[in-house]
Amino acid sequence: MTGIICGTGSYTPSYVMDNNEIATMVETNDEWIKERTGVAARHIIKDETTVSMACEAAKRALADGRVDAGEVDLIIVSTISSNIILPCTACEVQKELGAKGATCFDLSAACSGFVLAYNTALAYLFGGVYKTALIIGSESLSNLTNWEDRSTCILFGDGAGAAVMKAGEGRTYLPVTYSDGMKGKALTCSSRHALADTCRMKDPEYYIQMDGQAVFKFAVKKVPEAVSEVLEKNHVEKEEITWYILHQANRRIVEAVAKRLDEPMEKFPMNLQEYGNTSSASIAILLDEMKKDKRLKSGQKIVIAGFGAGLTWGASIIEWG
Ligand code: ACO
- Three-state SS letters, the chain: CEEEEEEEEEECCCCEEEHHHHCCCCCCCHHHHHHHHCCCEEECCCCCCHHHHHHHHHHHHHHHHCCCHHHCCEEEEECCCCCCCCCCHHHHHHHHHCCCCCEEEEECCHHHHHHHHHHHHHHHHHCCCCCEEEEEEEEEHHHHCCCCCCCCCCCECEEEEEEEEEEECCCCCCCEEEECHHHHHHEECCCHHHCCCHHHHHCHHHCCEECHHHHHHHHHHHHHHHHHHHHHHCCCCHHHEEEEEECCCCHHHHHHHHHHHCCCHHHCCCCHHHHCECHHHHHHHHHHHHHHCCCCCCCCEEEEEEEECCCEEEEEEEECC
Q: Is 119 a catalytic residue?
A: no
Q: Give distance in angstroms: CA of 151 to centre of ligand 1.
A: 5
What pLDDT is recorded for position 195? 64
What is d(CA 172, CA 159) in angstroms, rounded to the nearest whole number?
29
Atom 33, ligand 1: residue with shortest CA distance:
212
Q: Is 193 a catalytic residue?
A: no
Please report, to the nearest 10 degrees, the dihedral formed by the alpha carbons of residues 81, 82, 85, 89 taken in order. Answer: -130
Q: What order of strands is seen across the sheet that includes strand 301-308?
A: 176-179, 312-319, 301-308, 241-246
**pTM, whole model, 2 decimals?**
0.96
What pLDDT is recorded for position 204? 82
Atom 13, ligand 1: residue with shortest CA distance:
151
What pLDDT is recorded for position 192? 75
**Ligand 1, CB within 6 Å, residue ranges:** 28, 32-33, 36-37, 110-111, 150-151, 154-155, 187, 210, 212-213, 215-216, 249-250, 253, 277, 279, 308-309
Q: Is 6 a catalytic residue?
A: no
What pLDDT is recorded for position 215? 96
Q: What order of strands is seen across the sheet that includes strand 132-140?
A: 2-11, 158-168, 132-140, 74-78, 103-107
What pLDDT is recorded for position 200? 64
What pLDDT is recorded for position 253? 98
What is d(CA 158, CA 47) in angstroms, rounded to the nearest whole number?
12
What pLDDT is recorded for position 28? 98
Which residues on neighbouring strands pair with residue 307, listed in sequence order? 313
What pLDDT is recorded for position 205? 83
What is d(CA 161, CA 296) in angstroms, rounded to the nearest whole number?
16
What pLDDT is recorded for position 248? 98
Q: Give distance in angstroms: CA of 65 to centre of ligand 1.
A: 40
Under-70 pLDDT residues of the chain: 193-201
